[in-house]
Structure 1
Amino acid sequence: MLLCRISAASRTLARFGRRSQWGGGLLHRALSCSSSRCHGVGSGEGNGQGLYRDTVLLPQTEFPMNLTGQNLLDRELEIQQKCGFADLYSWQRQRKAKKEFCLHDGPPYANGDPHVGHALNKILKDVRNRFEMLKGRQVHYIPGWDCHGLPIELKALGESGTTGLSPLQIRQKAREFAERAIARQKAAFQRWGVMADWDQCYYTFDGPYEAAQLKVFQEMHSKGIIYQDHKPVFWSPSSRTALAEAELEYNPQHVSRAIYATFPLTTLPPKTISENAGLEGVSALVWTTQPWTIPANKAVCYMPNAQYSVVKRADNSQLLLVGTDCRASVAALLGTELESVCTFSGSQLEGGICKHPLLPDKEVPLLPANHVTMAKGTGLVHTAPAHGMEDYSVASYFDLSVECVVDEDGKFTEQAGSELHNLPVMTEGTAKVISMLKECGALVKEEQCVHSYPYDWRTKQPVVIRPSRQWFIDVASLKDKAKDALQKVHVLPESARGSVLDMLNRRTYWCISRQRSWGVPIPVFYHKETGEALINKHTVSHVVNLFKDKGSDCWWELPIDTLLPPEVLKKSKAGPVTDYIRGQDVLDIWFDSGTSWAAVLPESDPRADAYVEGKDQTGGWFQLSLFTSVAVRNKAPYKCLVVHGFAVSEKGEKMSKSVGNVVDPDEIINGGKESSTPPYGADALRWWVAESNIFSDVQIGPNALNSARENIKKLRGILKFLLGNLQGFDPRVQAVDPKQMHYVDQYMLHLLREFSIKVTDAYAGFDASRVIRTLQAFITRDLSSFYFSIIKDRLYCDPEDSLGRRSCQTALEEILDGVTRAIAPILPHLAEEVYLHAPGHEKDETLFKSGWIKSRKHAAQYDLTIAIEPGLLFELMESLQEESVSTSSQLVELMMAARVNLTTELPRDLPSDALLKHGTFLINLEGGVIREDSAYSIAVLPASGARCPRCRRYTSESADCLCPRCQTIVSKAH
């Protein structure tokens, strides 16, 4: 082993000077032998070498060097069939396993065809699941689909082209649409090689799923976390429904007609009158980007801790009240100088009253508010409680009335006045309000303002804020618990934790009711006369049982006395059933998916090892699953969050059909109509996912796919070389005992062990790209450029059954097995294809049923005694280990042992089971000037120490104690 180490070290230094590309010239020369000719043998030259061609043991295998076109596609489908891809998940669920790995599938939306975003997400999950299964864990992974919601409803109605449908008719068409989308997506996921029981998926429109969801709803309602209220919500006129923040897209290029308008002060603030004279005729100057809300104004808000000034316009002597810090920007905007008349603190504005500019008989107070800033505008904020979240908070605190002037279609109601009635507030209504302000002399300035504005993420149309009676989740009561639970969650990458927390902090409340038909109905009944809601554990539990058996269609199918039977009414202490009507709202689909942990995860511990989704879910599924789980169980539904980026074009652009840069995963696999889009197969798609840095946006296009194809081709070449040289070798009966193997073969098994450790760690960290980098380094540096160069002569020219050749084949078989298993989670089709040709197992056995990388070398579990006679070699070894016994010297590291005892002679009392090696090492330096032939002996024994819980080396006194090195490091850290 020492000779192996020293000679390998010198070779390693030398090979860095001739590093080749992956699978370089050596590989191509070796592969050329498989075509029945070997370079230098049988070349046809007249040197007589051709006479010996048949005596050379050339590589032989039926494994193809390359697969392209239809042959590639046919082979992948054949592998899936022959190797039981469809039954693999069920098989591993039935086997005994000590541990379970649960990856909870976030449900893709069932409203379209599969796209590369699906591929990135599903393949990333599958790579981890296959790794865990190979490691011997029982994988819990149930794919699911998010099936309700407005986009599906609208598409279903658009397809039918009919109107005036009943809720049940709408639901039937929406269900059929969703089922067709699910079938297309499911077929694609199976073709990509994703391991699952595809007959046992979860769907949010299934009765048992809906019942589990309502159980969570009931528990949150009983705790007061879910409540009904009449307050402003994001409302989509284009969809005619309330929206949650997760359903909004902010358009940064939205253009508003912003205005500066005056609110004349009719009652001056008492604290300013005593200090200043001549303030009659002053007007508060407000700025707003939403002029249509002026008719609903109830107050003008100021910042109590800021400074305010009354200024006089140089061009018309008008007196205006503005924030002192805003004076310069307002003067520049108006194009005139503003002379300061007086200045005072914001708190002195208390008690002031303004006249509404459009409603002369209406007075509005000056009120303090924390949301006012001096960053833009005038430092005074027009406040319409019905149409702003902060405005509503002010109204609640000061008990102002909340009057809505906008209907469900986004048009002014009759309450806004005859001039505005029925006008769309965002367009004609805004124009009319500005015109009215101009007519009454209140308009000071109009400007175009480009700013970020919320849009309905489905219809891509702007939303408004309007009050409505809706059902809400009290997020404020959950935030602290959610943050505490999140501290115990491992987030990958760690930088994403800030985004999760930021999105959590931004959410004020969660509106969970929707005015649609395609969803889970909120199980509430309303009194016909009072409108009071009837909802309690008795009513909800009864509905839960009905949904579990019949599905939520029964909410509309069954008579109300079945939904609300006498025994339930009695327990609820309610009147006769004829006094009630069933509610018509459905739950937000984010509540559907946000309660999936309750419906899908194991009942014994409904907490997944990992949730893996795109970065858009930091404010979506990740967050809303956290809220519902914390509300019910006071803990997160996941132990680890993996946040990956989006798939984008090779230019880094978001994919869009209008731009024409969409990459279709079906065309990637099967090829497109153009010759420029050849079939790459599923493994190339999987390689693209694995090779990418998934923690940022991932580019895909011809360059990335061609690179994936070429890398797989090179890998096939390496595997073909290994398989070809194992022809006729059966490791079960012909493998050489490690004690008898050539040192360089033993050394390669050490390197294989290192390789397997690195690969295992990378997979465990959701870092498949590191797996590929490690694989390429191992193949390029350790195999192609080093080991393969050394062993050719022994493989080709030694006797077939010689110890040297069998030693080499023993190493090659373990290398083939290790590399094949290392790539299996990423390239399952190729791995199983190699396994069909590999020696050492039954023909009907498949790789994925046979476990993870097996290595016979566990050097780190052994203690070594190295005895070298005094001389130059001993001095060289002493430079690597100064003390006689060490667990952390450079020599220990090179030998990959637990402990090394460096001495001049072996102890006489060695145990009988010690493995002994003897040999000599020639040192020849400076052209023979320095020359020494040194003898050495090595004794190998099982490690005497216990496994350190920190570094996992066998160097500690007991299993519950750190080794000396780790004790020192940990003590210094604290």
Structure 2
Amino acid sequence: IIGWGRRPPWGGGLLRRAVSFTSSRCHGVGSGEGGARHADSGSAQGGYRDTVLLPHTEFPMKLSGQKLLDREVEIQQKCGFAELYSWQRERKSKKEFCLHDGPPYANGDPHVGHALNKILKDIRNRFEMLRGRQVHYIPGWDCHGLPIELKALGEVGTSGLSPLQIRQKAREFAEGAIARQKAAFQRWGVMADWDQCYYTYDGAYEAAQLKVFQEMFSKGIIYQDYKPVFWSPSSRTALAEAELEYNTEHVSRAIYATFPLVKPPPKIAAEKAGLEGVSVLVWTTQPWTIPANQAVCYMPNAQYSVVKRADNTQLLLVATERTASMAALLGTQLESVGTFTGSQLEGGICKHPTLPDKDVPLLPANHVTMDKGTGLVHTAPAHGMEDYSVASHFKLSVECMVDEDGKFTELAGPELQSLSVMAEGTDKVISMLKECGALVKEEQCVHSYPYDWRTKQPVVIRPSKQWFINTASLKDKAKEALQKVRVLPESARGSLLAMLDRRTYWCISRQRSWGVPIPVFYHRETGEPLINKHTVSHIANLFKEKGSDCWWELPIETLLKAGPVADYVRGEDVLDIWFDSGASWAAVLQGTSDPRADAYVEGKDQIGGWFQSSLFTSVAVRNKAPYKSLVVHGFAVSENGDKMSKSLGNVVDPDVVINGGQDPIMPAYGADVLRWWVAESNIFSEVQIGPTVLNLARDNIGKLRSILKFLLGNLQGFDPRVQAVDPKQMHYIDQYMLHLLREFSIKVTDAYSEFDAGRVIRTLQAFLTRDLSSFYFSIIKDRLYCEPEDSLGRRSCQTALEEILDGVTRAIAPILPHLAEEVYLHAPGHDRETLFKSGWIKSSSVWRRPGLEEAVEGACAIRDLFLSSIPGKHAAQYDLTIAIEPGLLFELMESLQEEPTSTSSQLAELMMAARVSLVSELPCDLPPDTLLNHGTFLINLEGGVIREDSAYSIAVVPTSAARCPRCRRYTVQSADCLCPRCKTVVSQAH
């Protein structure tokens, strides 16, 4: 083999294992049997105990309780967690990795959703920093909005408070929430410069936001209009779609009401004279909107029928396909009198049921469906988005009869004025319909209905003069930009596109005090807005210098420097907080090498929130997405998969996870357990958390600590800088482990690059369990404990162990930074004071040597057969004869054992047998108790150019040798004698 003292006739290459071969690394048979195992247990006899090199390290096997917590905090301080981000920003680096932090809301304490999100980001950031990239990560907070305002004011409310007083209280509340959240993020080990965060209430941030507003306004994308919006009477403000949550249990009083047909459609009147007395039947779940009705809509290509009720003489116009359902609902037969197409209804006029002087036209509309109701839709343009579209097309009135408190105005008439539309107003409208004979049926309807996500109260749709973003003009550009964005998981792309399609327009004005003022002035007399690039730019500069409080503090002469100032007043609306956070790319990313972030990483609720608002604003201003990739993760839920809520008592507090709680089932786990939970979870689904998964995480970290302690213990006194063995001189099994370590590092690097920390953990556990614990550690203990301290074999092994320790420690570092730094403090041969300043896993292509894999894995195939021949018995008690016909496999085995028979060759070590003999054919005079077995091993070299299916046989017999009293291997003639190796070691010790 190249560099091994003999050169094979082939060049070397990759081995492809035969199907019949299963490496012993997979099942760990014989792990630790023989002398090494007994030496490890401290059973080396009396006088020889001190000559055995057992592992020793100060690294503790277990940390728990307060000791664990103190150690983590100590590690953070000692290893400079607080300075790490600034350090890596100052070093030279060819590449930058920018993860833009979606701002958590500053309205409460940190929760496990925060932990899932922040730790997930930190794992990727630490990985990128370790592999040499300059990480750009500036944590931020979303600081404005109604929930903060409501919580800050508490029971006091806004009564008697000026906008500046409200803003001061809201700011103080937000600052307190930020301080608590920031302290938690730091305790979790999140790497950032915590003195350089972004806050949406900072003047510089607000100024950048206004520049985005100005750009969009100048392009005509932002405009003012009077149209229906989602209005929250409980908050007294307009809401955007992203601020709604839909209550699927909402109960409405649905009604069927009649609109008498006073002017038949011309196309029908000519054909069907004498159909006087027909009424159009409509259905609505919002009876309070009937007084605002302006039309009844039909589907042009549908069929409609005039039907006669069997229980009275009433004639009703309904969609033909809804007739059977209506008959069942009314409990009577409906006889068809005539059938028409929807287009024939054109020109028909109805009479409004509660407003006798009002005519209601029949109009075509494509939004009419046949799923429910009558196939004829009551249309109130002031209170429906689709209704408004009809009104725009046919120039109908969009008069509003509902005020900001959700009550009827005087326009609705004296009977309805001041009644709440969702309560007594609905009662009164239904009563009025009864009185005039227009009510056909009332029923309870349970359906999905929009609620204000802050107050948890139902909203109404009502028209108002607001500022809007024309999302229709941006949708195609946004979709095109998304095509260039990588989405993880890819399945989330469909949801992103669907949310874009559903966004008809975006109302960005809010009637509150705590927010960024919309920089508009209004004429005192006409109400016409005054806004242009000069006025907005001036206001932006003032905000940057003084903060947005100056909108209320400064006289209008200072705010509006030009023109007839006395004729104008400042606007009172503020911007939607989704516009606040959606402009974060402009405030935070503009100073980066690429103004697009490498990644945005948030929960799936941001598909219609921050992901979308950021996309719209960036596409509007720059014609590109603000991100190169999107990572969409699930929510944290209870162990039963339920949404966490205080009422259910299933909330898991991350502070309790770390520091422990009063309940004994929640001990102090520390930050690394919380981080392991995040890493191990399938983040693309709902992520469960509770005692079971946390205990499992703690146990897994405990197993990892045990392996790390073994590695550290056996590296005691080893300095890799001067004592490491050149790879070409190392034992082949040690070289092979470096080869496996290289494969491991490649897999781990790929997994981290894919935001797949779960795959990192699975790869790690497979490597630790299969390759190390069950395979390598069981083989090398004799060499580690019983060889001379400075022997080539022992130093070779320590060289491999040091590389493995270093690789494993770096592999876990992004996930478990506290444990990684703790190991690094105990590990030998480091120049740098912290692991995170010393780079990523170091692996060398030298570790992948021609023939190495084939030689060791060929031996592993034979080892498998040998160990399976002696189930339940100690391999060290047997002599093994391996018979292979001359060829590639024989030459490979010869590279591990050049002499015909040996008790100390590398092949004997791999087999863990007392003695191994390598022959070309089995002898004829085998003892009667010999165990015989046969196998094959496929050698595949040079990508399949050289293939050889090699047969081999093994003969296993109990050894006749006695056990050495020091190393406990069966290698001596008499039990009182030391084996030659041990005799040499002991004599040198004395």
| TM-score, normalised relative to structure 2 | 0.85
Task: Choose from 494, 503, 507 the match for 1:507.
Answer: 503
From the CA coordinates, give the structure whose radius of gyration is larger. 2
Distance 1:745 1:722 in 2: 14
CA distance in 1, matches of 2:800, 2:20: 18
What secondary structure does 2:422 align onto?
helix
The match for 1:633 among 622, 627, 630 is 622
**One-letter amino acid of the structure 2 residue matched with residue 780 of structure 1:** T
Alignment partner of 1:13 is 2:2: no
Please report how far the alpha carbon of residue 606 of structure 1 lies from its aligned counterpart in structure 2 after TM superposition. Answer: 1.5
Question: Hey, what does 1:605 align to over in structure 2?
Answer: 594
Alignment of 1:495 with 2:483, yes or no, is no
Q: Does 1:664 align with 2:666?
A: no
Q: 1-side partners of 2:608 and 2:702: how far apart?
A: 41
CA–CA separation in structure 2 for the residues paired with 1:10 and 1:227? 69
Match of 2:568 in 1: 580
In the aligned structure 2, how far is the partner of 1:25 from the partner of 1:662?
44
Q: Distance in 1 between matches of 2:780 and 2:132?
A: 34
Tell me how far 1:273 sits from its aligned partner: 1.3
Alignment equivalent of 1:467, drawn from 463, 468, 479: 463
Give 2:637's aligned amino acid: V
Match of 1:72 among 61, 68, 71: 68
Instruction: Report how far residue 38 of structure 1 moved.
Output: 3.5
Matched residue type, 2:726: D
Q: What letter corresponds to residue 466 of structure 1 in structure 2?
A: R
Give, as a single letter, the amino acid of the residue that structure 1 aligns with 2:583. Answer: T
Q: Equivalent of 2:351, from 335, 352, 355?
A: 355
**Residue 373, structure 1, aligned to residue 369, structure 2:** yes
Q: What is the Cα deviation at residue 17 of structure 1?
A: 6.7
Q: Which residue of 2 aligns with 1:46?
A: none
Question: Which one of 840, 864, 870 corresponds to residue 852 of structure 1?
Answer: 840
- Per-residue deviation, 1:605: 2.4
Secondary structure of residue in 2 paired with 1:147: coil
SS in 2 for 1:426: coil
Q: List gaps (5 residues or longer) in structure 2.
A: 5-11, 863-886, 900-906, 908-916, 925-931, 943-990
- Structure 1 residue 400: Cα displacement: 0.6
Partner of 2:643: 654
Match of 1:427 in 2: 423
Aligned residue runs from structure 1 range 770-781, under 5 A = 770-781=759-770
Find the aligned partners of 2:425 and 2:853 in 1 and give their Cα distance: 91
> Aligned partners of 2:20 and 2:788: how far apart in 1?
26
Q: Which residue of 2 aligns with 1:799?
A: 788
Q: 1:287 & 1:609 partners in 2: Cα distance?
A: 50
Could you tell me which of 37, 40, 43 is aligned with 1:41? 43
Displacement, 1:18? 3.2
Cα separation, partners in 2 of 1:905 and 1:582, compared to 1, 3 Å: same
Q: Say whether the 8 Å CA contact 2:736–2:852 is kept in structure 1.
A: no
Q: CA deviation at 1:676?
A: 2.1
Checking the alignment, whether the CA contact within 8 Å between 2:26 and 2:774 is kept in structure 1 is: no
Superposition map of 1:458-607 within 5 A: 458-566=454-562, 569=563, 576-603=564-591, 604-607=593-596
**Following the alignment from structure 1 to structure 2, what is the Cα–Cα distance between the partners of residues 7 and 614?**
42
Higher relative contact order (CA 8 A, sep 6+): 2
Q: CA deviation at 1:904?
A: 13
2-structure distance, mates of 1:686, 1:867: 39
Between the aligned partners of 2:479 and 2:126, the Cα distance in structure 1 is: 32
Separation of aligned partners in 2, 1:928 and 1:358: 111
Cα distance change on mapping 1:678 and 1:939 into 2, 3 Å: closer
- Aligned residue for 1:971? none
C-alpha change, 1:147 and 1:26, in structure 2 (3 Å) is: farther
Distance 1:351 1:10, change over 3 A: closer
Amino acid at match of 2:774: S
Greater Cα shift, 851-860 or 773-782? 851-860
Q: How does 1:155-170 map to 2 (within 5 A)?
A: 155-158=151-154, 163-170=159-166
1:136 to 132, 139, 145: 132
8 Å CA contact 1:865, 1:939 repeated in 2: no
Structure 2 counterpart of 1:757, one-letter code: I
Distance 2:106 2:854 in 1: 69
Distance change (3 Å), C-alpha of 1:748 and 1:277: same
The change in CA–CA distance for 1:716 and 1:12 in structure 2 (over 3 A counts) is farther
Distance 1:326 1:100 in 2: 62
2:771 corresponding residue in structure 1 = 782
Give the TM-score of the pair, scaled to structure 1.
0.86
CA positional deviation for 1:13: 2.4
Give the secondary-structure state (helix, strand or coil) at the position aligned to 1:821.
helix
Q: Which amino acid aligns with 2:22?
A: L
Residues 925 and 247 of structure 1: is their aligned pair in 2 closer, same or farther, counting only changes over 3 Å?
Answer: farther
Structure 1 Cα separation of the partners of residues 524 and 316 of structure 2: 52
Contact 2:79 2:834 in 1 (8 A): yes
AA of the residue aligned to 2:497: L
The AA in structure 2 aligned to 1:150 is: L
Q: Secondary structure at the match of 2:449?
A: strand
User: d(CA) in 1 for partners of 2:69 and 2:42?
Assistant: 37
CA contact (8 A) 1:238 1:409 kept: yes
2:748 corresponds to: 759
CA distance in 2, matches of 1:367, 1:739: 87
- The structural deviation recorded for 1:807 is 0.2
Equivalence for 1:883: none
**Relative to structure 1, is the Cα distance of residues 8 and 322 closer, same or farther in structure 2, using a 3 angstrom cutoff?**
closer
Q: 1:738: how far off? A: 0.6
Q: Note the C-alpha offset of 1:845.
A: 1.3
Asked whether the 8 Å contact 2:297–2:363 carries over to 1, the reply is yes
Provide closer, same or farther for how the CA distance between residues 926 and 651 of structure 1 changes in structure 2, counting only shifts above 3 A. farther
Q: CA deviation at 1:278?
A: 2.7
**CA deviation profile, 1:924-969 (whole Å, cap 9, x unmatched):** 699657999xxxx9999xxxxxxxxxxxxxxxxxxxxxxxxxxxxx
Equivalent residue number for residue 437 of structure 1: 433
Letter in structure 2 aligned against 1:239? S
Tell me which residue corresponds to 1:952: none
Equivalent residue letter for 1:592: D
Q: What residue number does 1:418 align with? A: 414
Offset at residue 674 of structure 1 (A): 2.2
Does 2:810 align with 1:821? yes
Corresponding position of 1:963: none
Distance in 1 (CA, whole Å) between partners of 2:377 and 2:921 is 87
Identity, % of aligned pairs? 80
Q: Quick one: distance in 1 between partners of 2:589 and 2:841?
A: 30
**2:664 is matched with which residue?**
675
Distance across 1 between alignment mates of 2:226 and 2:166: 28
Secondary structure of the residue that 2:366 maps to in structure 1?
Answer: coil
- For the pair 1:55 / 2:51, whether they are aligned, the reply is yes
> 1:577-602: CA deviations, max 9, x gaps?
00000000000000000000000014
Matched, 1:451 2:440: no
The DSSP-based 3-state class of the residue aligned with 2:630 is strand
Q: Deviations over 1:751-781 (max 9, x none)?
A: 0000000000000000000000000000000
Change in CA separation of 1:669 and 1:905 when aligned onto 2, cut-off 3 Å: closer
Contact 1:753–1:858 (CA under 8 A) maintained in structure 2: no
Counterpart residue number, 2:111: 115
Q: Does 2:712 match 1:723?
A: yes
The answer on whether the counterparts of 1:135 and 1:851 sit within 8 Å (CA) in structure 2 is yes
In 1: Cα distance, 2:272 partner to 2:854 partner: 100
For 2:488 and 2:344, the matched residues in 1 are separated by 51
User: In structure 2, what is the equivalent of residue 688 of structure 1?
Assistant: 677
Alignment correspondent of 1:394: 390
Q: How far is 1:6 from its partner?
A: 8.5
Contact kept, 8 Å, 2:294 with 2:361, in 1: the verdict is: yes
- Give distance in 2, aligned partners of 1:418 and 1:9: 91
Q: In structure 2, how many angstroms separate the alpha carbons of the residues matched to 1:440 and 1:840?
A: 94
1:261 counterpart SS class: strand
Question: In structure 2, how many angstroms separate the alpha carbons of the residues matched to 1:602 and 1:720?
Answer: 46
Distance 1:851 1:535 in 2: 53
- SS where residue 78 of structure 1 aligns? helix
Q: 1:7 to 1:284 in 2, by over 3 A?
A: closer
Aligned in 2, Cα 1:26/1:518: closer, same or farther, shift over 3 Å? Answer: farther
Aligned to 1:225: 221
